[in-house]
């Protein structure tokens, strides 16, 4: 596995540096309040949103992997979703002080209603009308000393991985965010902490100190993804984590980025175990990522590699399996892999480039490949969840009638090990991203 990952990384960098062309880099397409100094208004308001219809031609039954033969000819199901609807608000106070915020409604937000039930002697009842999320994904104050040095304090994005650093729906071609990173890492990953960032020539750096993930929330299906979740009114911060991201734009039309993360995840909860049995258990989590994005307007090529390692995975797995078994406990009580990996790549060509008088209209035909495994077991593990290793092939279209709006269509198929059924799906979506006031 390690030899394969090193080979892929070398191949990625070689391909990246060999490409040239004529257009804007992905950096210029991002909704970023970092650039407020060049805007006309002190107030900036923007956002993005997505609506998606998907038809799954396979069963989503919880036993489809333990008894695949029962669900081989399943009719499947359809779903309509609002993955993300986001409002960005920023303000420039002057003298280098700025504020940024982002309110996100995931899957339509949540709704609770109070109703009177006439058949139950006029009782008032609370009913959940919709099961989504409303989250404050960003809220920070920033002091800019120069282009080279900026300090951001508050609730901030942790830019580890390609999707966390470029998560707008106009920055990827699939209807949903790329499946590999979306499965094994928090996405969009946001924490309360401190960030120091700046630009030096064609380089950009960002270093962060944030609360570490909680190993009690790790599982086999999503590795450490849910470790940023908190069931409480606060985020536990017994331990801190450190993240670093470096981006380079030296080659025209090409962006290359790497990022890393390290922190001790064990005992980062409101209930800790101080017994001698666990005194040397740290659960150190290391994540490393590499990516490239080549954009010459009519041709876009992207690739990413994410690899993570969790120390003490065997002890954490046993500990988590014995967590509180009360029905309202937030813990998944699952085994967790020692390693996880996600590799992805996509290529797209603008068909309208071959035609005249298309103005800003663009029609990309694209293909994408993802490979990921959320559970690579520790040595000696008695359980190997083979359904966590997946390949995904996607073909689709992205139509931009204007720069800020995209209509998406795709067909994807997920391939698992031979004993499992393939999982084909068809999706249609519409999305936007842009500023309303700037």
Per the structure, the count of domains in the chain is 1
More confident residue, 225 or 8: 225
Structure tokens at 343: 């590799």
Residue ranges of alpha helices (H) inside 19-121 are none
122 inside domain: no
322-361 residue pLDDT tens = 876 665 677 888 999 999 999 999 999 999 999 988 888 9
- How much is the mean pLDDT over the chain? 87
Please state the rounded mean pLDDT for residues 35-46.
72
Please state the rounded mean pLDDT for residues 52-62.
94
Residues 6+ apart with CB under 8 A from 415: 390, 391, 392, 393, 422
Whole-number pLDDT of residue 25 = 34
- Least confident segment among 21-35, 229-243, 399-413: 21-35
393-402 residue pLDDT tens = 999 999 999 9
Closest CA to 399 of 369, 365, 357, 427: 365
Q: Is the separation of the CB atoms in 172 and 295 below 8 Å?
A: no
Q: Is the separation of the CB atoms in 384 and 406 below 8 Å?
A: no
Q: Which residue has tokens 């801190």? A: 240
Q: How many other CB atoms are found less than 10 A from the CB of residue 298?
A: 17
Maximum average pLDDT range among 27-31, 242-246, 331-335: 242-246
Please state the rounded mean pLDDT for residues 220-232.
91
Q: Is the separation of the CB atoms in 341 and 375 below 8 Å?
A: no
Whole-number pLDDT of residue 436 = 92
Q: Which residue has tokens 């966390």? A: 164
How confident is residue 75, by pLDDT bands cut at 50, 70 and 90?
confident
Q: Is the separation of the CB atoms in 178 and 199 below 8 Å?
A: no
Whole-number pLDDT of residue 301 = 98
269-320 residue pLDDT tens = 988 888 989 999 999 999 999 999 999 989 999 999 999 999 999 999 999 9
More confident residue, 48 or 5: 48
Expressed as residue numbers, the domain containing 389 is 2-110+130-437
pLDDT surpasses 80 at 126: no
Q: Please report, for the domain that includes residue 24, its CATH number.
A: 2.40.160.10
Please state the rounded mean pLDDT for residues 190-218.
97
116 inside domain: no
Rounded Cα distance between 95 and 239, Å, is 34
157 inside domain: yes
Whole-number pLDDT of residue 40 = 67
Whole-number pLDDT of residue 401 = 96
357 inside domain: yes
Q: For residue 359, what are the CA distances in angstroms to 61, 356, 365, 401, 430?
A: 47, 8, 18, 9, 20
DSSP string over 327-359: TT---------SEEEEEEEEEEEEGGGGSSS-T
8-19 residue pLDDT tens = 444 343 333 333
Please state the rounded mean pLDDT for residues 414-429.
96
Tell me the pTM: 0.86
Please state the rounded mean pLDDT for residues 42-66.
94
Whole-number pLDDT of residue 268 = 93
Whole-number pLDDT of residue 250 = 97
More confident residue, 308 or 25: 308
187 inside domain: yes
Which run of H or of E encompasses 87? strand 84-94
Please state the rounded mean pLDDT for residues 71-89.
93
Q: What percent of the chain has pLDDT over 70?
A: 84
DSSP string over 263-282: EE-TT-SSS---SGGGTT--
Whole-number pLDDT of residue 9 = 42
How confident is residue 128, by pLDDT bands cut at 50, 70 and 90?
low
pLDDT surpasses 60 at 33: no
DSSP string over 316-328: HHHHHHTS---TT
123 inside domain: no
118 inside domain: no
Structure tokens at 231: 């069931």
352 inside domain: yes
Please state the rounded mean pLDDT for residues 138-150.
97
């Amino acid at each position: 596995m390690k030899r394969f990952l090193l080979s892929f990384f070398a191949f990625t960098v070689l391909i990246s540096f060999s490409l040239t062309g004529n257009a804007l880099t992905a950096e210029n397409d991002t909704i970023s309040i970092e650039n407020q100094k060049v805007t006309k208004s002190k107030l900036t308001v923007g956002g993005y949103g997505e609506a998606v219809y998907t038809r799954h031609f396979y069963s989503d039954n919880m036993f489809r992997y333990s008894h695949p033969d029962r669900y081989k000819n399943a009719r499947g199901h359809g779903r309509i979703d609002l993955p993300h609807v986001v409002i960005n608000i920023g303000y420039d106070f002057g003298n280098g002080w700025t504020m940024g915020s982002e309110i996100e409604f995931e899957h339509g937000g949540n709704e609770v209603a109070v109703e009177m039930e006439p058949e139950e002697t006029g009782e008032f009842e609370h009913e959940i009308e919709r099961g989504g999320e409303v989250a404050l994904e960003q809220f920070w104050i920033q002091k800019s000393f120069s282009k080279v040095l900026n300090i951001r304090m508050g609730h901030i994005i942790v830019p580890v991985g390609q999707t966390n650093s470029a998560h707008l729906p106009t920055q990827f071609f699939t209807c949903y965010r790329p499946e590999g990173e979306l499965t094994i890492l928090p996405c969009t990953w946001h924490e309360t902490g401190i960030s120091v960032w700046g630009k030096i020539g064609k380089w950009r750096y960002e270093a962060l100190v944030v609360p570490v993930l909680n190993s009690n929330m790790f599982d086999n299906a999503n590795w450490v993804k849910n470790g940023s979740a908190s069931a409480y009114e606060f985020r536990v911060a017994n331990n801190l984590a450190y993240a670093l991201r470096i981006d380079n734009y030296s080659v025209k039309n090409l962006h290359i980025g790497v990022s890393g993360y390290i922190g001790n995840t064990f005992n980062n909860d409101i209930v800790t175990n101080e017994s001698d049995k666990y005194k040397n258990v740290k659960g150190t989590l290391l994540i490393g990522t590499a990516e490239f994005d080549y954009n010459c307007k009519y041709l876009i090529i992207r690739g990413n590699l994410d690899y993570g390692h969790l120390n003490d995975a065997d002890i954490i797995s046993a500990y988590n399996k014995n967590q509180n078994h009360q029905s309202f406990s937030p813990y998944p009580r699952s085994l967790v892999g020692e390693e996880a990996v996600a590799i992805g790549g996509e290529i797209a060509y603008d068909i309208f480039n071959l035609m005249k008088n298309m103005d800003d209209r663009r029609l990309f035909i694209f293909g994408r490949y993802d490979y990921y495994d959320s559970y690579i077991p520790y040595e000696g593990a008695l359980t190997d969840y083979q359904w966590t290793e997946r390949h995904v092939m996607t073909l689709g279209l992205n139509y931009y009638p204007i720069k800020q709006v995209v209509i998406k269509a795709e067909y994807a198929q997920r391939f698992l090990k031979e004993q499992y059924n393939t999982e084909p799906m068809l999706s249609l979506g519409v999305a936007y991203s842009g500023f309303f006031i700037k």
